[in-house]
């Protein structure tokens, strides 16, 4: 409590980790979810801001290339101001707040102002970058010690507060933070004070991210190598015999899709799952939603069917979207799965079946061929005369299923459960990647994703932007649409699932 009796705020100094958003701690995520204000550095992955409430105030207080957006005193004052105003503040800092993060200075300012604070440790850059580069900082066959050093100290002065003599003796691993601009001088000092010029060195840039770059050499030649390759910050420099283990232990940047940029054209609220599958293989997945799912113009046809749900013999659901919209509307009407009564349920494929099971229902039928034609092949084995079938669908869905089921003798209702419309615009990141010709692959998971992209870009511009880009289609129907629009399909999985599509993309690039 403050003297006036008001509750004071609190500031959480949260380590965001070295770049991979999955490396933040559970406690860090908890703090972000409660935050009213987030003050973040440029080294903190911006994806982490998605954990904060939509109403949270987001303040960028980073430092880029040594140029301060705000100096440290201003940041300290900002944290104090927000804390004294009774706000829950997260100071999101790259790496760990207490390892070259100036967290100690911020805590001193908060303590002096009487603002409560908590430290949430993070994976520091030395640990994260080394691990993702396949370099153990300690190894009993090489060294039992590691020293973390600022790489920027001593750039423009002869005197140094670093004990270079002790740092250079022995075989301990040394990690320099943010030392690319002073690399040559730091390496020369280690040699001058006794380290062998042949000591292995690794530079790790943007460690733990899909943009990770690793350059290896020795104390004698690493500066020349860095200049030749135009190696830029931010990076850590790892010095020691353990660097030699990288060739044996390298894992992160040796995955088949590492460094590949892949556009995911699914709807914004569905792209995350596919993007995560691709990221596990090392790809940079760029979300480029070409679909926006919205409510039908008229709920009456679907509501009428739901009111008589138990009178149907079959419910046919051919996508996860159909499952989600069907059950959401059922719940909105005050009903649940019990309304199905004896109505049996058909799922088009395993992912749709999984979504149905999420509502406590085990599908009665799933075809071996995960598409509309497979569903019809199964129903062709049955007697459907006068059977009532409910087929909730998208507004642009093919008429194949209801038409063919009626031909088999069924009475089919096919109300619109959702509409597929164009997003307002394509994301700037996706457009920029296409314009730079830096995209390796584009994925289409339905005919609508292809058609909508052509509508948003214009058919000719789409074809021009996708020259040299591998086209991955989830199945033959989508592939047919791609070809009709002039695209060559390079990748199509044998099964029409996201997992199979990911495997097919992986296999395609493994042979490149």
Active site residues: 41, 63, 178
Q: Is residue 28 a contact partner of residue 15, using CB atoms and an 8 Å limit?
A: yes
8 A C-beta contact, residue 279 and residue 261: no
Per-residue tokens: 377: 């092949």
- 216: three-class secondary structure by DSSP: strand
178 secondary structure, DSSP code? S
**Cα–Cα distance list, 393 to 205, 318, 324, 349, 419 (Å):** 48, 8, 11, 15, 9
Sheet holding 173-177, edge to edge: 146-150, 173-177, 235-239, 200-205, 213-218
Q: CA 163, 167, 169: angle at the middle one, nearest 5?
A: 125
Q: Cα torsion at 487, 488, 493, 499 (round to 10°)?
A: -50
Helix/strand/coil for 134: coil
For CA atoms 28, 29, 33, 37, give the dihedral sign. positive
147 and 175 Cβ atoms separated by less than 8 Å: yes
How far apart, in whole angstroms, are the C-alpha atoms of residue 61 and residue 68?
A: 8
Contacts (Cβ under 8 Å, ≥6 apart) of 235: 129, 178, 179, 180, 203, 204, 205, 206, 207, 213
C-alpha closest to that of 442 among 487, 503, 395: 487
Between vectors from CA 365 to CA 360 and to CA 370, what angle results, nearest 5°? 105
In sequence order, the β-bridge partners of residue 213 are: 205
What ranges make up the beta strands (E) of 208-343? Answer: 213-218, 235-239, 261-264, 284-287, 292-294, 314-317
**What are the backbone dihedrals phi and psi of residue 243, each rounded to the nearest 5 degrees, phi first?**
-60, -30
Euclidean distance between CA atoms 320 and 417, whole angstroms: 12
Residue whose entry in the numeric block shows the structure tokens 């460690």: 207
Looking at the DSSP assignment, which residues form a beta bridge with residue 67?
A: 64
Q: Give the phi and the psi of residue 166 in degrees, each rounded to 5.
A: -70, -35
234 preceded by a cis bond (ω within 30 of 0): yes
DSSP symbols for 37-95: EEEE-TTS-GGGGGGS-TT-EEEE--EETTEESS-HHHHHHHHHHHHHTT-EEEEEESB
Whole-angstrom distance, CA of residue 448 vs CA of residue 143: 57
> Two tokens at 135?
């370099």
């Amino acid at each position: 409590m403050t003297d006036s009796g008001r509750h004071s705020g609190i500031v959480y100094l949260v380590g965001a980790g070295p770049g991979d958003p999955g490396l933040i701690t559970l406690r860090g995520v908890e703090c972000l979810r409660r935050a009213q204000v987030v003050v973040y550095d440029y080294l903190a992955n911006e994806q982490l801001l998605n954990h904060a409430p939509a109403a949270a105030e987001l303040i960028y207080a980073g430092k880029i290339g040594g140029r301060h957006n705000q100096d440290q005193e201003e940041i300290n004052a900002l944290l104090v101001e927000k804390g004294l105003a009774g706000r829950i503040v997260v100071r999101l800092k790259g790496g760990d707040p207490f390892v070259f993060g100036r967290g100690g200075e911020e805590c001193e300012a908060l303590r002096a102002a009487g603002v409560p604070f908590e430290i949430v440790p993070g994976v520091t850059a030395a640990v994260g970058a080394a691990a993702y580069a396949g370099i153990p900082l300690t190894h009993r066959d090489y060294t039992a010690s590691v020293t973390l050093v600022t790489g920027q100290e001593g750039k423009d002065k002869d005197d140094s507060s670093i004990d270079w003599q002790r740092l250079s003796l022995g075989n301990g691993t040394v990690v320099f933070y943010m030392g690319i601009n002073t690399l040559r001088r730091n390496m020369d000092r280690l040699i001058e004070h006794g380290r062998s010029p042949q000591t292995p060195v690794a530079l790790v840039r943007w460690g733990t991210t899909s943009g990770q770059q690793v350059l290896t050499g020795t104390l004698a030649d690493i500066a020349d190598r860095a200049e030749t390759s135009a190696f830029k910050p931010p990076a850590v420099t790892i010095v020691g015999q353990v660097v030699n283990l990288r060739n044996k232990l390298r894992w992160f940047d040796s995955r088949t899709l590492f460094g590949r940029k892949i556009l995911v054209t699914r709807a914004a609220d569905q792209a995350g799952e596919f993007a995560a599958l691709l990221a596990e293989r090392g790809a940079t997945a760029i979300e480029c939603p070409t679909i926006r799912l919205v409510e039908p113009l008229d709920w009456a046809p679907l509501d009428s069917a739901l009111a008589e749900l138990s009178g149907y013999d079959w419910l046919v659901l051919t996508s996860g979207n159909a499952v989600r919209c069907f059950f959401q509307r059922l719940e909105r009407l005050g009903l649940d799965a019990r309304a199905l009564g004896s109505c049996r349920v058909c799922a088009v494929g395993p992912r749709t079946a999984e979504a149905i099971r999420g509502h406590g229902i085990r599908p009665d039928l799933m075809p071996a061929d995960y598409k509309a034609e497979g569903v019809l092949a199964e129903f062709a084995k049955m007697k459907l005369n006068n059977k009532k079938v409910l087929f909730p669908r998208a507004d642009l869905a093919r008429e194949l299923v209801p038409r063919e089921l009626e031909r088999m003798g069924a009475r089919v209702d096919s109300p619109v459960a959702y509409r597929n419309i164009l997003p307002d615009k394509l994301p700037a990141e996706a457009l920029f990647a296409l314009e730079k010709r830096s995209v390796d692959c584009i994925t289409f998971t339905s005919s609508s994703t292809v058609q909508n992209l052509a509508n948003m870009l214009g058919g000719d511009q789409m074809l021009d932007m996708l020259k040299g880009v591998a086209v991955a289609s989830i199945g033959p129907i989508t592939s047919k649409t791609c070809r009709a629009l002039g695209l060559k399909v390079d990748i199509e999985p044998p099964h029409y699932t996201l997992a199979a599509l990911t495997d097919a993309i992986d296999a395609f690039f493994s042979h490149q």
